[in-house]
Structure 1
């Protein structure tokens, strides 16, 4: 990324123009459960081709989502739907046959919002499994499963949680989503790169349309991803807590600074289109309704006194990457004024630490939190300017915040880097002292393509980065069980994504014990096939593969 000089006046003028342009559409949103002003004739064919989803559970409800489409890949992004506004019936039941419907209503699917429907269901029982579906005319959607959060002040015996990241459709098949769906967890965290903005072909699959820069393009891209059966199954299996990273908009963007300096004059317009499409396609509450190029995404979700999820947005408010981005030894990155989440979100997070009474405080966020120095020498520290390594003062403030607040069990959950990692965390990585927390990093669903494995689960960087405990370059997700006494993380992998049908397996298992700092490994899966081995790869090749997988291109 080219570093671009920004001023508050430039940002304010651009943002004001984009907000004004989007104002009419935002003001015209018909909220969920409101009936349309005029009856519309239901379409003759099934309009539920994009599936269903739920999200952001509370003790008395959750968000339900669907989006109507007859031709998902229509270039105008409107899914082949007429310009009519539809009233979509929704139902919530206690059983999969819908014999006991406990809540029902009508949600509005407005063409101004790509015929998406968001329903904020309330009045349900805490800590309970429910099933939901939508109906339009004679057409029924596939059913979905959702779980309400436990009641405030209670300590449930267990929470089943999985987290995922980085699903690039041309890079392979979404087999890992299907394996996750089969687990039927209580909640799924999606930590960014739900879709990729680029065009082009891949392994058996290709993006419809060119690189996404317009509202029509982003809408079409989301619709294409949502036709994938494994992704639909993962959405239907459990409520999601979704946050974005960069590829939902533009690779490695930072606030109002795009990857390419030439795109800067129109970037906020592009960001407004991307944010609007993200809202239209995710099970988000009205509190996340976009306002031009702005969307409130960071939020807290509690599961009784067992766990609090602090869901972060590390793109919308960050200072630009230092030294032109990439892996650098960059003294400018250490400027204490620089922040990755932005000053306001940092303050919100630290306040959340001080107020927390949860057994486990879990930070759902996007980019690597602990150090990954790729230079073995003591003369230089070569780290990613796009990750928390590029904002060390900001990282120190957040880490010191949970230490000072006496957070009982701080755990950072991360995506972005297209490989499984496990890392302990320190206050000072130059002089590591006691471990003050741990980080669990999920691999990608497909980004990076078919991966490879090492029998000992060790990356070459671990030799001089003592926090790095485990690594594999296979694709997959992380499945966890959270109890009052421990958090168990299973690193789930698939041996390939270049064709469908791979069997998922657990590559490694780590445990965090209540009140103890540091990861405890309990299981290593044996090699399933010689094809998983990094046969003959030198350390230099492994490092290059790591960088190439993360960047999606050359590792130079």
Structure 2
């Protein structure tokens, strides 16, 4: 049985129980056995295993079994933590000691304190290879934004089924995993008279402020069957951006008084949102460099993925016009430079949650992203990116590709010193893709500092175009040929149609 056939067949039985609920919903509900409430998920794979995530409705121990085939005749058992209300019933266990470059079948169940066990859910993932092999990765961002949540009339978030059909090894979620600041109404009437209908939930009735409201945003997304099936069989590499907390937030900031928040301190909101993120996402914060997010995922000799955090260390959006600025922070900048220099992988993907040259205003005098629309030498947050780009050139680091989302359209940007105001760098590509299930916007202007050229852009004709228009919901796919080492990037719409393709041969060192 092929991996794709297994994915489709086994995923049909991923959830057969009652509708899912966030922690605290359904008071008085008593079950005879623990329940896996929101499916299962795989994250941060290595050559010998991966992280397996799950959630229980009551205190229970997480148990994972792995095998080489769906018959589970050669089972290895891994006992995870006791899942308790302290972590909203969530937890993860790293399965390890498995063969490299292999399809792994896994199944998950819960063992209650009274001996009762849950149903079993199953999935698959592939361990990272240790020899050159074909690799496929999909990426995008932005889920349930601008008032567009799970629409039962269109089958929910079908883009996840479209991505699953491509049978990728990895999924890079580039941020805005939730829209904690976007409440959902039962219906949204579009400018052309069409109606978008939402499944609703208590946690989505207002912008999230409490820990349970942030948790409820993640729970809401995982009530979508397409999303849960995808999670069970595609290993994720996850990031965060602003909407995990609140729009355009930066450390030390304050939410505007007219946004309707009771708690307006952005640092307080961020602390709560980070806890919910780490509880509900398949990553282990202790494995990150800073104990939170930024980290390197090595996926064999052909690929290293450098996962950035361009949110927690940035300065205020109003400060992005000065001579110096911060978007990575000194420690993360040094880590990225050193990591790229030391990498022996053929391709180095920099997973950035913000694009480099796209101008994203925050009001009239501030800028949300790296670019600040100022001509001339790098200024503001561009100064840190300039350090990274110069170090790449100085250390002769080859085959660096940047992937990002954030701006709700898809584009291919080529950066060249021949067009730039700052010239101490080698030319490179940045590919943008999104949104997955949110309002579509763009395109935005480009800042000339690093000489970007929009080789391809696909954006909607009007701002906040709804996900009913699938051609303006986007994801990207990266394929690396195990024989030639060639990297191909396809920019796709939510139906799977390839809108643009770029082949990049590896450098000959």
Q: 1:274 corresponds to which residue? A: 273
Aligned match of 1:440 in 431, 443, 446?
Answer: 431
Measured in 2, the distance between the counterparts of 1:371 and 1:403 equals 22
Measured in 2, the distance between the counterparts of 1:281 and 1:373 equals 29
Measured in 2, the distance between the counterparts of 1:460 and 1:64 equals 38
2:359 maps to 1:385: no
Distance 1:333 1:306, change over 3 A: same
| Structure 1 spans left out of the alignment, 5+ residues | 1-41, 69-80, 324-331, 375-381, 453-458, 495-502, 517-556
Q: CA deviation at 1:230?
A: 1.3
Measured in 1, the distance between the counterparts of 2:148 and 2:487 equals 32
2:35 maps to 1:47: yes
Q: 1:320 corresponds to which residue? A: 316
Q: CA deviation at 1:273?
A: 1.2
Aligned match of 1:204 in 197, 205, 208?
Answer: 197
Distance 1:295 1:359, change over 3 A: same
Aligned match of 1:179 in 155, 162, 168?
Answer: 162
Partner SS state of residue 219, structure 1: helix
2:328 maps to 1:341: yes
Q: 1:67 corresponds to which residue? A: 55
Measured in 2, the distance between the counterparts of 1:442 and 1:45 equals 42
Partner SS state of residue 165, structure 2: helix
Measured in 2, the distance between the counterparts of 1:238 and 1:232 equals 10
Measured in 2, the distance between the counterparts of 1:98 and 1:383 equals 60
Partner SS state of residue 50, structure 1: strand
2:125 maps to 1:146: yes
Measured in 2, the distance between the counterparts of 1:251 and 1:288 equals 27
Aligned match of 1:412 in 388, 402, 411?
Answer: 402
Q: CA deviation at 1:304?
A: 2.1
State the superposition RMSD in angstroms: 3.0
Q: 1:125 corresponds to which residue? A: 99
Partner SS state of residue 171, structure 1: coil
Measured in 2, the distance between the counterparts of 1:460 and 1:60 equals 42
Deviations 1:279-325 (A, max 9, x none): 110111251699xxx952000111222111100000001111136xx
Q: 1:250 corresponds to which residue? A: 246
2:481 maps to 1:488: no
2:307 maps to 1:311: yes
Deviations 1:114-149 (A, max 9, x none): 111210111111111112221134532431211111
Residues 196-205 or 212-221, more deviating: 196-205
Measured in 1, the distance between the counterparts of 2:107 and 2:54 equals 9
Q: CA deviation at 1:108?
A: 1.6
Deviations 1:449-479 (A, max 9, x none): 5x89xxxxxx695899751111112112111
Q: 2:504 corresponds to which residue? A: 512
Measured in 2, the distance between the counterparts of 1:507 and 1:428 equals 27
2:500 maps to 1:477: no
Measured in 1, the distance between the counterparts of 2:453 and 2:159 equals 27
Distance 1:509 1:226, change over 3 A: same
Q: CA deviation at 1:52?
A: 0.5
Measured in 2, the distance between the counterparts of 1:111 and 1:97 equals 34
Normalising to structure 1: TM-score of the pair? 0.70
Q: 1:38 corresponds to which residue? A: none
Conservation of the 8 A alpha-carbon contact between 2:360 and 2:367: no
Normalising to structure 2: TM-score of the pair? 0.77
Q: 2:76 corresponds to which residue? A: 102
Residues 177-186 or 343-352, more deviating: 177-186
Q: CA deviation at 1:504?
A: 2.8
Partner SS state of residue 144, structure 1: strand
Conservation of the 8 A alpha-carbon contact between 1:368 and 1:416: yes
Aligned match of 1:192 in 163, 175, 186?
Answer: 175
Q: 1:350 corresponds to which residue? A: 337
| Structure 2 spans left out of the alignment, 5+ residues | 1-29, 111-115, 150-155, 189-195, 373-380, 460-471
Measured in 2, the distance between the counterparts of 1:440 and 1:305 equals 22
Measured in 2, the distance between the counterparts of 1:513 and 1:321 equals 38
Measured in 1, the distance between the counterparts of 2:358 and 2:89 equals 44
Distance 1:242 1:181, change over 3 A: same
Measured in 2, the distance between the counterparts of 1:50 and 1:269 equals 27
Measured in 1, the distance between the counterparts of 2:166 and 2:344 equals 29
Measured in 1, the distance between the counterparts of 2:310 and 2:178 equals 17
Measured in 2, the distance between the counterparts of 1:215 and 1:371 equals 33
Conservation of the 8 A alpha-carbon contact between 1:255 and 1:316: yes
Partner SS state of residue 41, structure 2: strand
Distance 1:428 1:113, change over 3 A: farther
Which has the larger helix fraction?
1
Distance 1:463 1:298, change over 3 A: closer
Q: CA deviation at 1:384?
A: 7.7
2:282 maps to 1:283: yes
Q: CA deviation at 1:361?
A: 0.7
Deviations 1:382-428 (A, max 9, x none): 99821221322122112112111211101000010110110012358
Q: CA deviation at 1:183?
A: 1.8
Measured in 2, the distance between the counterparts of 1:352 and 1:210 equals 41
Measured in 2, the distance between the counterparts of 1:429 and 1:340 equals 24
Q: CA deviation at 1:215?
A: 0.6
